[in-house]
Chains A and B, each alone.
Chain A
Amino acid sequence: MTKLLNNWRLALYPVAGIVVILVVWQLYTDLFGVSQIVLPSPTDIWGAMVKNNSLLLRETWPTLLECIYGFALALALGIPIAVAVANSRTLNLILYPILIATQSIPKVAVAPIILIWFGIGMESKLAIAFLVAFFPIVVDTATGLRATPPGLIELARSLRASPSQVFWKVQFPAALPFIFAGSKVAVTLAVIGAVIGEFVGSNEGLGNLLLTANSQLNSPLAWAALVWLSALGIGLFVIVVIAEKIFMPWAEGGH
Chain B
Amino acid sequence: MAHANVQETGPAGWTEKASTLPVIGKFRDVRQEFLRKTGNPLLAIEEISFDLFEGHLVSLLGPSGCGKTTFLKIVAGLVKGYTGTVQINGVDVTDPHPDVGFVFQQPNLMPWRTVIKNVTLPMEIRKEAGPEATARAHELLKLVGLEGFEDAYPNQLSGGMQQRVALCRALVHSPKLLLMDEPFGALDELTRMDMHDLLLDIREKTGATCLFVTHSISEAVYLSDIVVVFSQRPAVIADFIEIDLAYPRTPETRYSADFTALEHRASRALGITR
Q: Which of A157, A248, A250 has the most CB of B within 10 A?
A: A250
> Could you tell me the distance in whole angstroms from the C-beta of A22 to the nearest C-beta in chain B?
41
Stretch at the interface among A106-114, A148-156, A178-186, A187-195: A148-156
Q: B85 at the A/B interface (Cβ < 8 Å)? A: no
The answer, yes or no, to whether B102 is at the interface (CB within 8 Å) is yes
**Does the CB pair A160–B156 fall under 8 Å?**
no
Which residues of chain A are within 8 angstroms of B153 by Cβ–Cβ distance? 249-250, 254
Q: Mark B194-214, 1 if CB is under 8 A from A, else 0.
A: 000000000000000000000
The answer to whether B125 touches A158 (Cβ under 8 A) is: no
A255 vs B111: C-alpha distance when bound (angstroms): 12
Q: Is the interface of A mostly helix, strand, loop or mixed?
A: helix
A151-B112 CB under 8 A given contacts A159-B96, A160-B96, A253-B156: no
Most buried by A among B78, B113, B121: B121
Give chain B residues whose Cβ lies under 8 Å from the Cβ of A253. Answer: 155-156
Instruction: Assess whether B110 is interfacial by the CB under 8 Å rule.
Output: yes
Selected A-B contacts with CB under 8 Å, 22 pairs:
A149-B108, A154-B78, A154-B108, A155-B108, A156-B125, A157-B78, A157-B96, A158-B77, A158-B102, A159-B96, A159-B122, A159-B126, A169-B110, A173-B112, A176-B112, A249-B153, A250-B112, A250-B153, A250-B154, A250-B155, A254-B111, A254-B156
List the A side residues contacting B113 at CB < 8 Å.
Answer: 250
A161 to chain B: closest CB distance in Å? 5
Complex interface residues of chain A between 191 and 249 (CB less than 8 A to chain B): 248-249
- Say whether B110 contacts A159, CB under 8 Å: no
Interface core residue of B78, B102, B108 (most chain A CB under 10 Å) = B108
Q: Mark B153-191, 1 if CB is under 8 A from A, else 0.
A: 111100000000000000000000000000000000000
In the assembled complex, which residues on chain B have CB atoms less than 8 Å from the CB atom of A165?
125
Is B57 in the interface zone, CB < 8 Å from A?
no
Given A157-B78, A254-B153, A255-B155, answer yes or no on A169-B104 (Cβ-Cβ < 8 Å): no
- When distances are taken between beta carbons in the complex, the residues of chain B under 8 Å from A156 are 125
Given A151-B106, A154-B78, A159 and B121 touching (CB < 8 A)? yes
In the bound complex, do residue B78 and residue A158 qualify as a contact, i.e. CB atoms below 8 Å apart?
Answer: yes
Tell me the residues in window 55-95 of chain B with beta carbons closer than 8 Å to chain A beta carbons.
76-78, 95
A106 to chain B, nearest CB (A): 38
Interface size, A (range):
20 to 34
**Residue B22 CB within 8 A of the other chain:** no
A141 CB, min distance to chain B CBs, angstroms: 16
Q: Does B124 contact A (CB under 8 A)?
A: yes
Checking B76, B111, B126 against A158 with a beta-carbon cut-off of 8 angstroms, the contacting residue is B76
The verdict on A120 contacting chain B, using a C-beta distance below 8 Å, is no
Known: A151-B106, A155-B104, A176-B112. A254 touches B155 (CB 8 A): yes
In the complex, besides A159-B126, A169-B124, A170-B110, 14 extra interface pairs with C-beta distance below 8 angstroms are A149-B108, A151-B106, A152-B110, A156-B125, A157-B78, A158-B77, A158-B102, A159-B125, A160-B98, A160-B125, A160-B126, A161-B125, A169-B110, A250-B154
Whole-angstrom distance between the alpha carbons of A93 and B77 in the complex?
31
Task: Give the bracket for the number of chain B residues in contact with chain A.
Answer: 20 to 34
Residues of chain A lying within 8 A (CB to CB) of residue B126: 159-160
- Specify the chain A residue showing the minimal Cβ separation from B152: A250
Chain B residue, CB-CB nearest to A155: B108
Q: How distant is the Cα of A248 from the Cα of B121 in the complex, in angstroms?
A: 18
Pair A250/B108 contact, Cβ less than 8 Å = no
Q: How far, in Å, is B207 (CB) from chain A's closest CB?
A: 21
Q: How far is the CA of A154 from the CA of B108 in the complex (A)?
A: 9
CB-contacts of A76-134 with B (<8 A): none
Residues of A within 8 A of B112 (CB): 173-174, 176, 248, 250
Contact A152 B108 (CB under 8 A): yes
* A169 contact set on B, CB distance < 8 A: 110, 121, 124-125
- Interface centre among B76, B98, B125, by most chain A C-beta atoms within 10 angstroms, is B125
- Find the A residue at minimum CB distance from B153: A250
**Which among B95, B113, B155 has the highest number of chain A CB atoms within 10 Å?**
B155
Q: How far is the CB of B180 from chain A (nearest CB, A)?
A: 12
Contacts of A255 in B (CB 8 A): 155
Quote the shortest CB–CB distance from A80 to chain B (angstroms): 21
Smallest Cβ-Cβ distance to A150: which chain B residue: B108
Q: Which residues of B sit under 8 angstroms from A158, Cβ to Cβ?
A: 76-78, 96, 100, 102
B104-129, CB under 8 A of A: which get 1 and which 0? Answer: 10101011110000000110111000
Q: Which residue of A lies closest to B106 (CB)?
A: A151
Flag if B96 contacts A173 (CB, 8 Å). no
Which B residues touch A170, using CB under 8 A? 110
* Nearest B-chain residue to A176, judged by Cβ: B112
Q: Please measure, in the bound complex, the distance between the C-alpha atom of A159 and the C-alpha atom of B126, giving whole angstroms.
A: 8
| Assembled-state Cα–Cα distance A156/B125 (Å) | 8
B111: chain A residues within 8 A (beta carbon): 250, 254
Once the chains are docked, how many angstroms separate the CA of A100 from the CA of B63?
48
A98–B166 CA distance with the chains assembled, in angstroms: 43
